[in-house]
Chains A and B, each alone.
Chain A
């Protein structure tokens, strides 16, 4: 029996901004969530992104952007860090669960995501995806790593170079 939403406590609705993906889809999102991106934060602080304007993101397609925003919306309260008067307490265990579930996706999506997080400078998301990709090679042999990461089998020339390298760094290949 939740109490009716009483807005933001202080002065009503939160500020919204519009982001436009490379394929021209418009996403309306709270400024606080979009500000997880260091790149967007500057534009937003300057008053951009409001009303009909929107911030174009020519490097991010709509599928990736919606995934990025899903992350930002979930993490925005934690990033606010009690600074706002009505900051909701953050349930860190819940965030961890969300993160684990969030990166449980196809490799190609992971790569688009880390690229977008890099372009938009979203620190937490970059680390989250990097850790996930690093986990994919854990405990694997060099050949298994090659296949997991989608590298073609080496040419004979490459193989010879590799053998030389492996002699030098034997500890990594036993």
Chain B
């Protein structure tokens, strides 16, 4: 059955479309035709977007009536959808180029009516907290929050299975309690986020933290702007069922696995440090690698020259790895650069990496010379660093018939 027009589609599919539509525009589709009258209300989703109000109130967020309309619209949307079944998806997108105006929007207060109240009412005034603590939101399974550069207190979503925060500030404790309060959570994407400490934790000098997600199978953790975590030195992940992990961070914040991960199939790791106290970087890197003992596919991207990872003393390398190798690793990809005047040190680093991966049979390298934007043929690197490199290649060829990756080695 072909469908050339929207009206040819069955109601299930129309609901599916409305599941992703912003609430205000979605609700207004009720007047398209009789058939559409109750479609949006039964979509199971409330997607709140400040841009829905730009047409009427202008793009600026520093605007009382817009705050009020957004809040009223949010509450009405939650009420309308919840009246027809559980709200499964809740998303919040507050857009502005100016982070201060987001703050004013979220905490907007009518000064006259607030003069006799003290600052105690901060949380009550927080637009986001009001939306998230609405009883209709308790049933949410999929929560997306984007561009929210403002602290927001965590709410509890016991049925949550997918959490996406994009471009947000988040207080660590709120994040932790949200993840902790969601026993069915399987997908966590924390993209371009900035994790903050609650002020009284910083005062007590407690700068490390653990995120515990017993059912999480997929985790994305990428940092915000360029400074990583302002105040947190380390994150321990207690996620024993993790299968996919994407990580883009500065190593000044150490991330470690608190529990043994058995089923990891792929890890994409991007280390963004370009300059650092060299030995500390090395130590952190090799320590971090120990977390991936069961991973099948490892993609490494390095912003610093790979030379900086080289360990010439094999005994030290084994110590750093705690004598653990990546025994299940089948495919290794390395993308990065090397110092042109590095005297083959890059080759040692590659050899070190191969040393960790006894059964790897797909190898993909793209390592170009630093500064010059010429993409060197990988054979050049192999020649430059022939001794170390060939020895390692020989080693793993012996162990496993080499099948050739989709690029040169």
State the A residues within 8 Å of B (CB): 1-4, 6, 9, 59, 61, 64, 81-83, 85-90, 92, 107-108, 111-112, 114-115, 118-119, 126-127, 130-131, 133-135, 137-142, 145-146, 149-151, 154, 158, 161-162, 165-166, 169, 171-174
B277 CB to nearest chain A CB (Å): 30
- B52-83 near A? 1/0 per residue, CB < 8 Å: 10111000000000000100110011001000
CA distance A171 to B69 in the complex (A): 7
Given A89-B266, A111-B6, A173-B28, decide whether A151 and B33 contact each other with a Cβ distance below 8 A. yes
Check B2–A115 contact: CB distance below 8 A.
yes
CA distance A28 to B2 in the complex (A): 22
Check A114–B9 contact: CB distance below 8 A.
yes
7 contacts between A and B (CB under 8 A): A118-B13, A126-B13, A137-B21, A137-B22, A139-B22, A141-B28, A166-B31
A44 CB to nearest chain B CB (Å): 23
Chain A residues with CB under 8 A of B406: 2-3, 88
Chain A residues with CB under 8 A of B19: 130, 134
A143 CB to nearest chain B CB (Å): 10
Contact of A137 among B4, B25, B362 (CB under 8 A): B25
CA distance A114 to B331 in the complex (A): 35
Chain B residues with CB under 8 A of A92: 246, 268
Chain B residues with CB under 8 A of A85: 330
B324 CB to nearest chain A CB (Å): 20
Contact of B20 among A3, A115, A130, A149 (CB under 8 A): A130
Given A1-B377, A139-B54, A151-B33, decide whether A133 and B2 contact each other with a Cβ distance below 8 A. no
B179 CB to nearest chain A CB (Å): 22
CA distance A144 to B7 in the complex (A): 17
List the B residue with the shortest CB-CB distance to A61. B2
Chain B residues with CB under 8 A of A3: 404-409
Check A172–B3 contact: CB distance below 8 A.
no
- B220-261 near A? 1/0 per residue, CB < 8 Å: 000000000000000000000001101000000000000000
Check B20–A131 contact: CB distance below 8 A.
yes
List the B residue with the shortest CB-CB distance to A139. B51
- Given A81-B266, A133-B6, A165-B31, 12 further pairs, Cβ under 8 A: A81-B243, A86-B361, A87-B265, A112-B2, A134-B21, A134-B22, A137-B22, A149-B32, A151-B32, A172-B23, A172-B27, A172-B30
CA distance A142 to B404 in the complex (A): 57
CA distance A145 to B331 in the complex (A): 48
List the B residue with the shortest CB-CB distance to A129. B17
Chain B residues with CB under 8 A of A9: 361, 403
Most buried by A among B23, B69, B77, B331: B331
List the B residue with the shortest CB-CB distance to A141. B55
CA distance A166 to B29 in the complex (A): 11
A104 CB to nearest chain B CB (Å): 17
List the A residue with the shortest CB-CB distance to B267. A89
Chain B residues with CB under 8 A of A108: 4-5
Interface residues of B in 328-361 (CB under 8 A from A): 330-331, 333, 361
Given A3-B405, A83-B265, decide whether A172 and B28 contact each other with a Cβ distance below 8 A. yes
Check A89–B55 contact: CB distance below 8 A.
no
Going nearest first, the 5 A-B pairs with the smallest beta carbon separation are: A82-B265, A172-B27, A134-B20, A3-B404, A134-B21
List the A residue with the shortest CB-CB distance to B362. A86
B55 CB to nearest chain A CB (Å): 6
Chain A residues with CB under 8 A of B69: 171, 174
CA distance A171 to B24 in the complex (A): 7
Interface residues of B in 178-237 (CB under 8 A from A): none
Most buried by A among B4, B7, B26, B31: B31
Check B20–A90 contact: CB distance below 8 A.
no
B303 CB to nearest chain A CB (Å): 16
Chain A residues with CB under 8 A of B24: 171-172
List the A residue with the shortest CB-CB distance to B331. A89
B403 CB to nearest chain A CB (Å): 5
Chain B residues with CB under 8 A of A1: 377, 379, 408
CA distance A82 to B26 in the complex (A): 38
List the B residue with the shortest CB-CB distance to A169. B27
Tell yes or no: B49 within 8 A of A by CB. Answer: yes
